[in-house]
Amino acid sequence: MHDKIYPVSDDWAKSAQIDEPTYRAMYQRSVEDPDGFWAEQAKRIDWITPFTKVKNTSFAPDNVSIKWFEDGALNVSANCVDRHLAKRAEQVAILWEGDNPTESRSITYRELSEQVNVFANVLKEMGAKKGDRITIYMPMIPETAFAMLACTRIGAVHSVVFGGFSPDSLAGRIEDCGSKLVITADEGLRAGKKIPLKANVDAALAKLGGDVKTLVVQRTFADIPMQNGRDVFYNDLAKTVSQHCEPEAMNAEDPLFILYTSGSTGKPKGVLHTTGGYLVYASLTHSKVFDYRDGDIYWCTADVGWVTGHSYIVYGPLSNGATTLMFEGVPSYPTNSRFWEVIDKHKVNIFYTAPTAIRALMQAGDEPVKKTSRASLRLLGSVGEPINPEAWEWYHRVVGDDRCPIVDTWWQTETGGILITPLPGAIAQKPGSATLPFFGVQPAIVDGEGKVLEGVAEGNLIITDSWPGQMRTVYGDHDRFVQTYFSTYKNAYFTGDGCRRDADGYYWITGRVDDVLNVSGHRMGTAEVESALVAHEHVSEAAVVGYPHDIKGQGIYAYVTLMAAVEPTDALRKELVAWVRMEIGPIASPDLIQFAPGLPKTRSGKIMRRILRKIAEGEFGNLGDTSTLADPAVVDDLVANRQNKR
Ligand code: WTA
């Protein structure tokens, strides 16, 4: 336990939107009178039809139902674009920094409005209408934000698929939500390398058949094959459509987007977020957690393919009329100074990144940071996985020059926005703790039996009441939603995370307690990697666990049993890694593969992952009870042949 405390400076307490007494009072009100609190907060959004009802939610296992502002109507793109035109038409909305340091673009709110209107009309021209699902498989370019906002303008539901996913993963996601249109780009560009996005879409569609069309934005202007009648260049159509598209009035509970995420079992789930509650929550959290002030340059380094990109590159900042920086590249290209150089180039005030990036850059030493100024920085943020205190301290001391508070924000794809975080002008920070709940969020810690633990405690983290940004269902499978999140503990949302609460009431997230891995801040189900491995002709069985990894947080350790008569060679190991990359995508590459003649199973055939985890972690002395195994001898072989951590 690390008990160093970083108090709020006087300057921050005075200048921030919310100081400690205000936080305490607002928090109290938010949980005692959620209707009153959220009715007031929802005024930050422009409603086409004002709501008369605020909260209507139930976590009861036989009736999980979540509705916020249910009789209100609004349009997200009108909130993120149109309403800013009167005051800030010439202010930069999206500041784009290319992969290549010589490339950048500034898009003002006026230009954003023009682009989104035209993009929306192009979507209509392609036959898209309200309620349709549209898949977006794009690189980190402004057109991706235009596409998302255009969907919201016409009431179509977007499903953004991270550009690093394979054709197979993409095909599964297109099929699951029944998209008839995929928006993509010719190629992406990262660290100087081209990513064949359109070719991946072609491969995905070849698996699906049917009548899916594509709309292709040109990023590199590569010469790519276009299928007549199916594929259309965005630029060709954009020239032909009207400049104005009236925003569709959407009910607060109409679907806004689907985002696929990994769980402990089965295929990725389509997390469904709706319109009103999500936008209110993304907007409010972005404003208060980052203490966003008019004119600030705000940079979140996530990819829009993840929820962090949705809420804190696009919807939160743009609904607040902010300048949001969008970065196409990676932290180490062309050099390890890139992040800090971008901060100096664009005078970034607020910087939000992931612990895995901080750890990687920390390994490169202080010099690449210290040669830059970073004088514009005021606030730092962290998201995606627990941040180890050493990385926190380095971020604070070296990147922030001991001057910038750090908001360690805990949340999930399912939560829509940040749930546990310090507010920078209100809450003293402790390195490694996400600290205290945001307004309206009621966390609790439970033991294995579901008993709520009071005071200092460690157990599983649940949330006992709804907040506006909460997911509403799993697309097309409400039973799975109820089963996954509301069946483990009665009348509560189960987060899947372990958590500790200290004597100051601070929350310390300890990581996933289910079979979900967090590799470089990316969620990965062990079941997904296993099913990719067993799809290989030489593999008979596979079990995947996580192990501590210095940079990635968790690495992927795969135990693989080969078919009879197949030789376990290094070449095959490499082939299997390449296979998983092809099946799922590079983020799922196993770090270590151990060939195992047998896996530890109970007599009823259940794999004992606890033992596999211990071996992967190198904790042989502590394997626990192995007497229930069908064949205890397999454990000796596993221990003897454990792969070394890289
Ligand atoms: C983990 C990302 C500790 C956690 C926004 C959660 C964190 C999962 C933090 C969700 C944090 C995210 N401290 N752990 N500040 N932020 N996590 O859906 O295990 O990609 O359940 O959402 O990341 O990952 P997801």
Residue 324 Cα distances to 101, 142, 143, 145, 300, angstroms: 18, 11, 14, 11, 8
Q: Is 515 in the pocket of ligand 1 (CB under 6 A)?
A: no
DSSP 514: S
The lowest-confidence range among 260-274, 344-358, 619-633 is 619-633
Which residues make Cβ contacts (< 8 Å) with residue 210, sequence separation at least 6?
none
From ligand 1's centre to the CA of 223, what distance in Å?
A: 39
- What would the mean pLDDT of 578-585 be, rounded to a whole number? 97
How does pLDDT run across 318-355, given as a tens digit for each residue? 999 999 999 999 999 999 999 999 999 999 999 999 99
| ipTM computed for the complex | 0.99
Q: Is 415 in the pocket of ligand 1 (CB under 6 A)?
A: no
How does pLDDT run across 227-239, given as a tens digit for each residue? 999 999 999 999 9
Q: Is 312 in the pocket of ligand 1 (CB under 6 A)?
A: no
Q: Is 384 in the pocket of ligand 1 (CB under 6 A)?
A: yes
Other CB atoms within a 10 A radius of the CB of residue 207 amount to 13
Q: Which residue has 């907060």 as its token pair? A: 41
Note if the pTM is more than 0.90: yes
- Residue 646 pLDDT grade (very low, low, confident, very high; cuts 50, 70, 90): very low
**Which two tokens mark 606?**
């259940």
**Which two tokens mark 534?**
């067993």
Other CB atoms within a 10 A radius of the CB of residue 493 amount to 24
Which atom in ligand 1 lies closest to the alpha carbon of residue 516?
19
> Which residues carry a binding-site annotation for ATP?
384-386, 408-413, 497, 512, 523
Q: Is 552 in the pocket of ligand 1 (CB under 6 A)?
A: no
Which atom in ligand 1 lies closest to the alpha carbon of residue 420?
15
Q: Is 342 in the pocket of ligand 1 (CB under 6 A)?
A: no
What gap in Å lies between CA 107 and CA 631, rounded to an integer? 64
Which atom in ligand 1 lies closest to the alpha carbon of residue 495?
21
Residue 589 has pLDDT above 50, yes or no: yes
pLDDT computed for residue 369 by the predictor: 98
How does pLDDT run across 49-107, given as a tens digit for each residue? 999 999 999 999 899 999 999 999 999 999 999 999 999 999 999 999 999 999 999 99
- What would the mean pLDDT of 285-310 be, rounded to a whole number? 98
Residue nearest to atom 14 of ligand 1 (CA): 385
Q: Is 473 in the pocket of ligand 1 (CB under 6 A)?
A: no
pLDDT computed for residue 645 by the predictor: 57
- Residue 502 pLDDT grade (very low, low, confident, very high; cuts 50, 70, 90): very high
Mutate to test the pocket of ligand 1, among 301, 303, 385 (most ligand atoms within 8 A of CB): 385
Residue 146 has pLDDT above 60, yes or no: yes
Residue 2 has pLDDT above 70, yes or no: no
pLDDT computed for residue 620 by the predictor: 82
The DSSP secondary structure of 480-501, one letter per residue, reads HHHHHHHSSSTTSEEEEEEEEE
Which atom in ligand 1 lies closest to the alpha carbon of residue 414?
18
Which atom in ligand 1 lies closest to the alpha carbon of residue 261?
18
Q: Is 310 in the pocket of ligand 1 (CB under 6 A)?
A: no
How does pLDDT run across 467-484, given as a tens digit for each residue? 999 999 999 999 999 999
* Residue count of the chain: 646
Quote the mean pLDDT of the chain. Answer: 96
Q: Which residue has the higher pLDDT, 627 or 305?
A: 305
Per DSSP, the three-state class of 304 is: coil
pLDDT computed for residue 131 by the predictor: 98
- What would the mean pLDDT of 380-394 be, rounded to a whole number? 97
Provide the CA 100 distance to its chain's centre, in angstroms: 25
Residue nearest to atom 3 of ligand 1 (CA): 386
Using only the alpha carbons of the chain, give its radius of gyration.
24
Which atom in ligand 1 lies closest to the alpha carbon of residue 408?
15
From ligand 1's centre to the CA of 567, what distance in Å?
A: 39
Q: Is 352 in the pocket of ligand 1 (CB under 6 A)?
A: no
What gap in Å lies between CA 383 and CA 606, rounded to an integer? 34
Residue 208 Cα distances to 140, 179, 205, 495, 594, angstroms: 26, 11, 5, 34, 34
From ligand 1's centre to the CA of 12, what distance in Å?
A: 27
The lowest-confidence range among 243-252, 298-307, 625-634 is 625-634
Which atom in ligand 1 lies closest to the alpha carbon of residue 512?
19
What gap in Å lies between CA 291 and CA 288, rounded to an integer? 5
Residue 471's nearest CA partner among 455, 486, 457 is 486
The dihedral through the CA atoms of 643, 517, 584, 602 has a sign that is: positive
Secondary structure element (H or E) that encloses residue 540, with its range: strand 539-549
User: What are the helix (H) ranges across 473-620?
Assistant: 478-486, 526-534, 570-583, 609-617
From ligand 1's centre to the CA of 411, what distance in Å?
A: 5
- What would the mean pLDDT of 429-451 be, rounded to a whole number? 97
- What would the mean pLDDT of 148-155 be, rounded to a whole number? 99
From ligand 1's centre to the CA of 521, what distance in Å?
A: 7
Q: Which residue has the higher pLDDT, 644 or 33?
A: 33
What gap in Å lies between CA 344 and CA 425, rounded to an integer? 24
